[in-house]
Structures are given as structure tokens and as C-alpha cells.
Amino acid sequence: METNRIWWKEAVVYQIYPRSFYDSNGDGIGDLKGILDKLDYIESLGVDIIWLCPVYQSPNEDNGYDISDYRQIMQEFGSMQQFDELLHSIHRKNMKLIMDLVANHSSDEHLWFKESRKSKNNPYRDYYFWREGKNGHPPNNWPSFFGGSAWEIDHQTQEYYLHLFSKKQPDLNWENPKMRKEMYNIIEFWLNKGVDGFRMDVISVISKELNFPDANTDNFLDIMNNHYANGDKVHIYLKEMSHEVLRKYDIMTVGEGPGINLDNCLEYVGEDRNELNMIFHFGHMLIDHGSNGRFDPVSWDLPQFKKIFSDWDNKLKDQGWGSIFLGNHDYPRMVSRFGNDTQYRVESSKLFATLLLSLRGTPYIYQGDEIGMTNVAFNTIDDYRDIEGTNAWLKAKQEGKNMVEFLKIIHQQGRDNARTPMHWSSHQNGGFSKSDPWIKVNPNFHHININAQDKDQNSILNYYRMMIKFRKKNPTLVYGDYNCLCPEHESIYAYERWDEASKYLILLNISDNNVVYESPISRSYQLKINNYITPNAINKLRPWEAKMFSLPQGTTSC
């Protein structure tokens, strides 16, 4: 039994994208009061921590990931008093709240940037990266994550500024100790309010290659790995952040890290590093991204998917800690992307809930996945809101691509799939708002909604509630060892979890077919979890069937 038990390792996290969660005042935009109104529902899931996507003042170029004031609440979301009330209510329910720290870049409407762009000798000039162009072109050929150049000319001083994301998200210069100190003060401001930690946005790219060399490839993932991620000083900055502020609080930190890989992950989360508690790794989330990113989709297979999870478990098992997630606000809906969101939507949603809640690491559940919300397919690009998707659309159009085909790629790969409003009921707008929401509701809210599932013992929602409860009662699923069985099998993901107290065999049929698990299953194995309502032969797996067995003490490998 694990002796070194830690709250954020045993916790289950629920991610809220506030803009799409619940609109309490009828303006079509989710808000903080809306989260407070639904806090009993969140508590009913059995989750421990709420990760709140950015709620700071922002012009919403990137829906809050472009911050214009780190100490003010976005007016559309409500007031600081409402934030304080929400935080207090979360704590009263013995849950915790982590905020989203966006420290790599600010909004171009932040005071710092407004000053910085005024003149080359402004005291805030070096809060950002300014460089001269080359023969009327940007300083180098780096691309933005959101398409186009990563540099924008500013005519006031005729210099370019760096923005790895949109041009309204200028990158902050972490070389500048004054900027770092201001960022630490911002972190301290929220921690002193009682916030329980941070998810750190693209924290792996805060240290830049200061000579800004040209990339010698046009493969975006290679450019990101070679030039943006894991810069020389990223660990110096994280250690300083920890020393200056984080270590003084009993909090949790999770780094979002494009470019964090098996070779360098322990530099971020090794227990002896005093940097971050855990990271999101993206191996499985980029599995269908071609060389030009999400809108250049490629096929993948289950052995690839399983290997990623097994490799990361093996790397982090003795030190550090990982996150287990299959969806968030940046990726298509989990059941549409990895499952079957038509004929087997219920079974495959439950199967992935079983996966999320039976692996080693801290599980993250993204709002709406607990009821099996799916991708959406709007008929026109005008119904989409995400800057990454709309930029890609414009680029495809300029390149003369077949836009009927490209819209299908947006349907399959776009981030807005995860940002349509939550389905609370079959009423107008899915019960999300009395007004037209900022983005259309997925029309399938009529049959996929919380009201319809809350009292149905066989619903996806109640399967999540059961699985969360089961994981909490069985810390073997948190801390126990892991071994993947039949790793090459094309349809079955079979693995075992164990410690000296218990042992479990988990069988997941990740396919539309009936399959048989060939290895022997002794009659002494007790079936504890099954996502089908009717029983079947112990070693048979129906399409998207998940089974978890508890094994008698001393059972050797399955």
C-alpha cells in the first residue's frame, strides 16, 4: 500500500470551460454565477478539483487565453466578488479550485504591451520580444500555432514582435527579471485568495532561442520541438517560480507542455526537481496530427495508442506524476475522436470513462464528456468561433483548397467541437441559456443532456459517478503498478493494475466488432465493472465493451 499518499495524486479533476458551462444571466455567455448555480451537480460527480479555464479580463481573441488584466475578472463572466463566492462555496464542499495561468503571453491590450509598443526605450519594451525585420520581412521564418508568421510588424516603432499564437497574444519575455517578478506577484495574488494551484498554459515554451534562427524545415511539429519547446532556461524559470512563490503553499501545479516528451518529462516533474507536480503529455492527443498539425489528419492504430500510455506510465512510475486525459477544450470530443459516437456512443463513452479512471495518474474529465457529448458539424464556417479553425479556413481558401472537403476536416478536428454549450436539458439551447449562445448548441442536446441521464442508472453520467467512486475506494487504481497485456492486439486494450492489496484486470474492446480475449480468465476472477447491462461469456467482449475483474491475492500475471 502506498505510504506517500498525496491529495493531488488521488484527486479526480473536472475541467470547466466557463464560456460554455452555464449562463445564469441570459446574455448567451457562461459565467461564474452559472458555475455556482451548478456546483451541486459538479459535487454529485464525486470529483475533487475544478480546473477553471481563464476567467481574467480579456478581449477574447482566444477565448480568455489572451489576458489584458491578470487581476480582474472578465466582465462577461461576472465580478471578483462572484469569484470569491464561488471559491468559498467550492471549499465549503471540500473541493478545490485550480486556475489557468497563461504566463507565456499576454493580450496586446494588456497595459504592459500598450506601453511596450510606445517606443524602443519605454520601460516595458523588454517585457516582450521586439526585433528588426530583414529586407521588409519578419526576423525569421517561424510560424504561429495559429497559422501565418509568428512575427507582427508594429508601425509605431517599425519593429516586429513575437507571437507564437495569435498576433493579439504577444509572447512575454521571461529573460526580463522585472517581468518574471510581476508574474510571480500575480501568482501570489491568486494563491493568497485561496486558490489551490494552477494549470500552466504552454509552460514548456516560455524560454526562447534569443538569436531567433530560421527553422530549416516547414514541418510545424519539428519547428515547435526544435525551436519553441524546452528552451535553455525553462527549468531555471520554473525553479525560480517555485522558490519565489509556489513552494510556500500546499498547492497543485500541472504543466501543459507542447514538446514535453519521454526524454525530458522528468526534468519538469521529477520529485527532486521542485518544479511542477505533473504534466499533460500530448502523445495520444497528437496521434492523428499530420506534419502540418491538426488540420492535416493522419490515421492511427490501437497498438500505437496503447504504447503511448504504456511508455508514459513506465517513465513516470517511479518518480514524477502524470495526467490521464482524452479530451479538453482544445481537442474534438473524446467519444467522437476515439470512440463510436453513433451506434455505440453510450458503450464507448463508458469504455473511455473506465480507461480514464483505472490508469495511474490524475484523471481529468472535461465538461460534457461525462454525458457523452459529441462533435458538432455546423454547415457553415460562419458558425465556428475558434481562431485556430477560422485562420486555417482562410489559409486553405487562399491555397485554393476544396472548401467542402476542408469543412469536413474542421468538423473532425476543430477545437469548437469541445466548446459548444453544455447540455443541461432538452429545453431551449439545451438549458444553457435563455438567449442565443455565443456559439450554437449541438442540435443533439434533445437526447444527450444531464436531465435525461441524472436519474437513469444505466446512463453515461451515472457510470462516471460509479467509476469515480470505485477509484476512490480502490487506491490500487491510483498508485498500483501497471502492465499492458497483448500490446499488439488491434482491438483489445488489456492491462492489469496491482499492489500488495489488490489486483485488477481491465479489458477494453476498442472496436465495433465482437472479440474474444484469448488469455485464460479463471473463474476466481470477480467481474466488478461492466459497461453493458446484460451479462455475456466471461472472455467475450461485445463492441466497445469494458470489463474490470478483481483477482484473488497472489494471482500471477493474467
C-beta separation of 267 from 458 below 8 A = no
Active-site pick, 108, 201, 288, 313: 201
Site string for ligand TEU, 39-68 (x = CB under 6 A): -----------------------x--x---
When asked if residue 388 is in the footprint of ligand TEU (CB under 6 A), the reply is: yes
Q: Could you tell me where the DSSP H helices lie in 175-275?
A: 177-192, 220-223, 234-244, 265-269
Surface-to-core class of residue 249, CB atoms within 10 Å of its CB (0-12 exposed, 13-18 middle, 19+ buried): middle
Q: End-to-end distance of the chain based on CA atoms, in angstroms?
A: 21
Which of 11, 16, 29, 55 lies at the binding interface for Ca ion (CB under 5 A)? 29
Active-site pick, 256, 288, 347, 388: 256
Q: Which stretch binds Ca ion (CB under 5 A): 30-38, 276-284, 318-326, 400-408?
A: 30-38
Task: Report how far residue 45's alpha carbon sits from residue 469's, in angstroms, rounded to the nearest whole number.
Answer: 9
When asked if residue 430 is in the footprint of ligand TEU (CB under 6 A), the reply is: no
In degrees, rounded to 5, the angle at the alpha carbon of residue 10 between the alpha carbons of residues 6 and 16 is: 120
Question: Of ligand TEU, Ca ion, none, which one sits near residue 23, judging by CB under 5 to 8 A according to partner kind?
Answer: Ca ion
C-beta separation of 392 from 410 below 8 A = yes
Single-letter amino acid code for the residue at 345: R
The residue whose Cβ lies closest to ligand TEU is: 65
Q: How far is the CB of 67 from Ca ion (least distance, A)?
A: 19
Contacts of 211 (CB under 8 A, 6+ apart): none
C-beta separation of 172 from 128 below 8 A = yes
Q: How many residues of this chain bind Ca ion (CB under 5 A)?
A: 5
Which of 12, 42, 50, 102 lies at the binding interface for ligand TEU (CB under 6 A)? 102
Task: Report how far residue 348's alpha carbon sits from residue 325's, in angstroms, rounded to the nearest whole number.
Answer: 15
3-state secondary structure 317-383: CCCCCEEECCCCCCCCCHHHHCCCCCCCHHHHHHHHHHHHCCCCCEEEEECCHHHCCCCCCCCCHHH
Task: Report how far residue 380's alpha carbon sits from residue 386's, in angstroms, rounded to the nearest whole number.
Answer: 13
When asked if residue 23 is in the footprint of Ca ion (CB under 5 A), the reply is: yes
Whether 201 is catalytic is yes
How would you label 4-40 residue by residue, b for 16+ Cβ within 10 Å and e otherwise? eeeebbbbbbbbbbbbbbbbbeeebbbbbbbbbebbe
Question: Of Ca ion, ligand TEU, none, which one sits near residue 171, judging by CB under 5 to 8 A according to partner kind?
Answer: none
Whether 256 is catalytic is yes
When asked if residue 258 is in the footprint of ligand TEU (CB under 6 A), the reply is: yes
When asked if residue 409 is in the footprint of Ca ion (CB under 5 A), the reply is: no
When asked if residue 316 is in the footprint of ligand TEU (CB under 6 A), the reply is: no
When asked if residue 370 is in the footprint of Ca ion (CB under 5 A), the reply is: no
Site string for ligand TEU, 152-181 (x = CB under 6 A): -------------x----------------
**Which residue reads 461576472 in cell numbers?**
78
In degrees, rounded to 5, the angle at the alpha carbon of residue 304 between the alpha carbons of residues 199 and 368 is: 45
Question: Of ligand TEU, Ca ion, none, which one sits near residue 145, judging by CB under 5 to 8 A according to partner kind?
Answer: ligand TEU
The number of angstroms, rounded, from the C-alpha of 303 to the middle of its chain's C-alpha atoms is 23
Q: At what angle do helices 387-398 and 403-413 cross, to 10 degrees?
A: 160
| Choice between 29 and 351, CB closer to ligand TEU | 29
When asked if residue 231 is in the footprint of ligand TEU (CB under 6 A), the reply is: no
Question: Of Ca ion, ligand TEU, none, which one sits near residue 152, judging by CB under 5 to 8 A according to partner kind?
Answer: none
Which of 2, 6, 10, 27 lies at the binding interface for Ca ion (CB under 5 A)? 27
Which residues ranging from 444 to 503 are in contact with ligand TEU (CB under 6 A)?
A: none
Q: How far is the CB of 165 from ligand TEU (least distance, A)?
A: 4
The number of angstroms, rounded, from the C-alpha of 221 to the middle of its chain's C-alpha atoms is 18
Tell which phi-psi region holds residue 274, choosing left (phi > 0), alpha (psi between -120 and 50) or beta. left
Which of 175, 244, 330, 499 lies at the binding interface for ligand TEU (CB under 6 A)? 330
Which of 19, 168, 180, 294 lies at the binding interface for ligand TEU (CB under 6 A)? 294
Question: Of ligand TEU, Ca ion, none, which one sits near residue 497, judging by CB under 5 to 8 A according to partner kind?
Answer: none
Q: In this structure, what are the phi and psi dihedrals at residue 150, rounded to the nearest 5 degrees?
A: -90, 10
When asked if residue 25 is in the footprint of Ca ion (CB under 5 A), the reply is: yes
Q: Which stretch binds Ca ion (CB under 5 A): 19-27, 133-141, 190-198, 363-371?
A: 19-27
Q: How far is the CB of 202 from ligand TEU (least distance, A)?
A: 5
Site string for ligand TEU, 400-429 (x = CB under 6 A): ---------------x--------------
Where is 98: in which H helix or E strand? strand 96-101
| Choice between 221 and 266, CB closer to ligand TEU | 221
When asked if residue 31 is in the footprint of Ca ion (CB under 5 A), the reply is: yes
E strand map for 231-322: 252-256, 278-280, 289-290, 293-297
Q: Which of the residues are catalytic?
A: 201, 256
Residues that bind Ca ion in the complex, under the rule CB under 5 A: 23, 25, 27, 29, 31
Residue numbers of the site for ligand TEU (CB under 6 A)? 62, 65, 102, 145, 165, 201-202, 256, 258, 293-294, 329-330, 388, 415
